[in-house]
Structure 1
Amino acid sequence: MTFDAWIARRKPLPLPSRTTLNRTVVIASLFGLAGIAMIALDRTVLSGINNSGYAALLRCAPELVDYIEIKRTVLIYLGYVIFSFGYASLALFLLRGEEIQGWPATLAQLSIFSPVGYALLYSGRMPILLVIALIISVGLVRLVQGRSFLPRGHHLFIKTVLFAILFMFYANAMWSARQSFCTDMSGLVEELRSRVNEQASRAVNKANERREEILRQLGSASLDQEKKLRQQLAALEGIIATAGKGGPETSMGAENLSRMIETRKAAVTLPIELRGGRTDFAMFAAVMRDAWHAQPRSYVLSAVESQFIPENSMRSILSNYFYLTHGVRTLDAVWQARENLTPVWGVYEVGILSPLLRVFLPDNQILSLMSSQLRSAEIYGFFPSVWGAAYIDFGASGAMIYIMLWGLVAGLSFRGSRVSTLATPPLILTFIFSSIALSPLQAPLGIANSALVLVSILIVGLAVDFTIIKRGRSTLIAVDARSESNVS
């Protein structure tokens, strides 16, 4: 109703021109590909660390992210800003594939390497899952508009099916490799955690000793000296408060970590009898019990023990089942811990905010507060579902307002996709359909840096709509001029 009231006051708008669509798709595709190239260059070459081992290690122990000191260049920040345009380019191409032909269409399809590269660099699956959800959502939006599920030509249906099949193979292989890596690196993780605690303890003791010395000096200090001493005292209080959360007092170099990972890899090829007689599946079940607070039922164990189902197959089935369903358990845990959770105002969902706060505002306490709250609720590292994430970010009342706003945007976009020629409403509706599909896992802004994806989609849509509205005004002026000429 709101959109109808707005659109009724406007003259009919023209369709976007083919030139506008081609130009927008090309620019967005180049941004996306350049962005992921910058991130890859920084992570694999300039960071000074073996990225595959580092990314996998953080999947096993994400709390160590502040402990590992890696080199960062401006490329990774610039890459993060623009890599998500790859999603927007692909979505616009699929929505308007009949008008976009030739090499712009090819470039738009190649932009899928932006999310795929992001997934590979960070040993993740969610960026690719978001792409698949976007493709399906585009099909739903096209059906809403009375068109075919995907544009004809380009063999898009076959490519989509092949892409989904490859994703399933990749997801299973990556999950299996991650579990094996985490099992092999369990000793290294404990060693690193021990180092963090030891260095944090030494830093706190040293800071406390200096603090006591400053307090003694304050009694006989002059006015100028007192000001300097109080500044030093404030700095020491910050060291004490943030000890163990990264920084020069508790950190290790990237090159040293790479050597430790390689050394550990060479030492983990042990036979079963030297691992306490436990098979890979038994070790996996132990990880489920200790880290996930879940365990296979008796009939599952019986099927594995009788070799009715191979161990590796059952491990993949259980892993994917838990991956796709544990949002319900996490939501329950959020609700049970609600008295101890204070809003963090978007920092939990919007992933780009964490590295920005960590690098540019290292004294800010919101990250450590959020981390301690999630750990106390035993939900750190788990998918919380859309409602769980909304509660963590905004509390009960804020979560309801937050999701109501998404409902309003969804309604506007749905109606706009049906009754107007604008590009922004169907693009936003595509994103919203995707967020609904993935809502059992995450909130709309918490899916693989999807906040950046939404911003990119909005920019691309507005860029096209600006030309549509501009052409519409030019047409109206021309029509008015002809009418006045005819009257005179």
Structure 2
Amino acid sequence: MTLIWLGVLLFVAIGPIDYPGQPSVVVLTVVAIGLAIFLPSYRGGKLVFDRWFALQARSPRPSTRMLNNVAMFASLVGIVGITLVALDRTVLSGVSNSSYAELLRCAPGLVDTIAIKRTPLLYGGYVMFSFGFVSIVLFLLKGEEIRGWAAALGQLSIVSPIGYALLYSGRMPILFVLVLVAMAMLVRVAQGRTLLPRGHYLLLKTGIAVSLFAVYSSAIWSSRQSFCTQMLPLIAELEQEKNQRDASVAYDPAASGGIPRPKPAETIAATELNKRIVEAQKVQQAAPVASSADAFLPKMLMAWNVMPRGYVTSAIDSGRLSARGAMIGLSTYFYLTHGVRTIDIVWKARDKFTPQWGVYEIGVLSPLLRIYFSNSDQVAVMEAELRAAAIYGFFPTAWAAAFIDFGLVGAIIYVAIWGAVAGWSAAGSRHSGLMTPQLLLVFVLASVLLSPVQGPLGMANSALVLVSMLVTGLVLDFAKLRARETATPGGNTPAI
């Protein structure tokens, strides 16, 4: 954790993008306090396992049959889950999923303006698809014992994160699963095993996956920039219509015990949105906008309030670096490092934030609140606070996310629990054969590596992945403990 944050702060200080005044004294102080909470909690978590659970080291290994059955079940659940999500989004929703997802990436504030159909399949799929992440990790950790169909399905489970990324026009789900893969390798090495299970050509497949992700990341960024440029006139129209509807909506003083709340405004039908997107694309294709470094850099300054450093501008001007290459490289660098500046912004606006109790990080909660608790204004209040602080749509880092979700005291507790789980799982993976600590350790290591971007519960619905890992690990360990009780003499209560 310490090395990762020292590296990130150094990259922000000297990297290709100039973040004015960053890392600031405020950022350095917040990071230092966060580490001062996390690291002792890590030691405490290790001590708890060593003292209370060390006897589990003598527990028998789970049967190969049980391990294969659980791995196969997790794989199938994940694959079925992402299939249900895809069916709802692409067929039953009534909207062109690719255009809808891209439009919300360009203008996330329009999410409540567009009426799309949501069926129970979507929510069922959300509960299930995260098991695909677990299946991949479980296969990598126990690939020597997982064979046949279970091994094939474990590798096929990569469709869950890839499908999720494609459906929502994102990159983080794929990045997250690749980081999980890397952390599973690290756990194997720490246990004195090979980097990957032998056979299955896993090293080659991993290299191909990383290469394809690099290509996909570049392609989706270019596609998003082009689409957002084409949709600028339509986005302006939709936002103007939204503002007019909001201004004309009367307040209902009888709602929620006399507390005035705005009545729901009318929304745009999905079929109408599809037609307007097609029309906007036709207009823009008739008059294409040329893109160049000269056009990109001012947009970068306006949107992000940053500029490339002199050595980057010089490389572009001299022709050593292409405008397209600069755009992709700088945007990716900004994507992964701008959270440091967010810490500073959040601290300066700290009095304007109210605790969100997980709604900020756990992405699945926002749509559930919008649909099933429409009288609640928590999502609207949260978005208003984020917009007022000018961080809406930006990554917060683990430290800022903890504060936004739980306040100052809650953030301290949150980081302490995170550190304790890290220590507990590290000790458990080293001193016992239990699966829950190993799965948790992979997750925690991934969350530590990605902490400059998001909190442990905020990465591509990682909260659901965490729950799936806990369920899978506990099922295996419960079977393991039952086997130990059966095998231990005197484990059964004698008849009197």
Under a length normalisation based on structure 2, what TM-score does the superposition of the two structures give?
0.86
Question: Which of 261, 264, 278 is equivalent to 1:241?
Answer: 261
Cα offset, 1:477, TM superposition? 3.8
Deviation digits for residues 16-74 of structure 1, max 9, x if unmatched?
11101100011000000000000000000000000000000000111111111100101
Q: 1:237 to 1:97 in 2, by over 3 A?
A: same
Deviation digits for residues 338-369 of structure 1, max 9, x if unmatched?
12111111110111110110110011111111
Question: Which of 404, 423, 433 is equivalent to 2:416?
Answer: 404
Q: Give the 5 Å matches for 1:56-205.
A: 56-204=102-250
Separation in 2, partners of 1:196, 1:439: 35
- What residue number does 1:260 align with? 276
Separation in 2, partners of 1:294, 1:236: 46
Q: 1:187 to 1:271 in 2, by over 3 A?
A: closer
Deviation digits for residues 244-291 of structure 1, max 9, x if unmatched?
xxx4x231111111111111111112557xx5xx63434433432232
Aligned residue type for 1:397: V
> Does the 8 Å contact 1:423/1:464 carry over to 2?
yes
> Does the 8 Å contact 2:56/2:432 carry over to 1?
no
Q: Is 1:379 aligned to residue 391 of structure 2? A: yes
- What residue number does 2:27 align with? none
Aligned residue type for 2:396: P
Q: Tell me, what secondary structure is at the counterpart of 1:148?
A: coil
- What residue number does 1:50 align with? 96
Q: 1:72 to 1:55 in 2, by over 3 A?
A: same
Separation in 2, partners of 1:254, 1:381: 24
Identity %, equivalent residues = 49
Question: Which of 16, 24, 30 is equivalent to 2:70?
Answer: 24
Separation in 2, partners of 1:182, 1:404: 41
> Does the 8 Å contact 1:179/1:284 carry over to 2?
no
Cα offset, 1:298, TM superposition? 4.7
Q: Give the 5 Å matches for 1:320-339.
A: 320-339=332-351
Range with greater deviation from structure 2 (278-287 or 334-343) = 278-287
- What residue number does 2:372 align with? 360
Q: Tell me, what secondary structure is at the counterpart of 1:447?
A: coil
Cα offset, 1:302, TM superposition? 4.3
Cα offset, 1:155, TM superposition? 1.0
- What residue number does 1:345 align with? 357
Deviation digits for residues 227-256 of structure 1, max 9, x if unmatched?
xxxxx7337977x6336xxx4x23111111
Cα offset, 1:337, TM superposition? 0.9
Aligned residue type for 1:411: G
- What residue number does 2:13 align with? none
- What residue number does 2:312 align with? 300
Q: RCO (CA 8 Å, sep 6+): is it higher in 1 or 2?
A: 2
- Corresponding residue pairs, total: 448
Under a length normalisation based on structure 1, what TM-score does the superposition of the two structures give?
0.88
Separation in 2, partners of 1:156, 1:53: 35
> Does the 8 Å contact 1:200/1:250 carry over to 2?
no
- What residue number does 1:220 align with? none
Q: Is 1:394 aligned to residue 440 of structure 2? A: no
- What residue number does 1:214 align with? none
> Does the 8 Å contact 1:144/1:417 carry over to 2?
no
Cα offset, 1:5, TM superposition? 1.6
Separation in 2, partners of 1:399, 1:71: 36
Question: Which of 474, 479, 488 is equivalent to 1:467?
Answer: 479
Separation in 1, partners of 2:136, 2:75: 8
Cα offset, 1:160, TM superposition? 0.7
Cα offset, 1:158, TM superposition? 1.0
Separation in 2, partners of 1:234, 1:165: 54
Aligned residue type for 1:41: L
Separation in 1, partners of 2:315, 2:190: 46
Range with greater deviation from structure 2 (10-19 or 332-341) = 10-19
Q: 1:9 to 1:302 in 2, by over 3 A?
A: closer
> Does the 8 Å contact 2:136/2:155 carry over to 1?
yes
Cα offset, 1:9, TM superposition? 5.2
Aligned residue type for 1:234: A
Q: Tell me, what secondary structure is at the counterpart of 2:308?
A: coil
Separation in 2, partners of 1:287, 1:11: 58
Separation in 2, partners of 1:436, 1:331: 17
Deviation digits for residues 156-180 of structure 1, max 9, x if unmatched?
1111111001000000100111111
Q: Tell me, what secondary structure is at the counterpart of 2:338?
A: helix
Q: Tell me, what secondary structure is at the counterpart of 1:54?
A: helix
- What residue number does 1:415 align with? 427
Q: Tell me, what secondary structure is at the counterpart of 1:81?
A: helix
Q: Which has the larger radius of gyration?
A: 1
Q: 1:11 to 1:154 in 2, by over 3 A?
A: closer
Q: Which runs of 5+ in 2 are unaligned?
A: 1-46
> Does the 8 Å contact 1:36/1:118 carry over to 2?
yes
Separation in 2, partners of 1:279, 1:236: 54
Q: Which runs of 5+ in 1 are unaligned?
A: 212-231
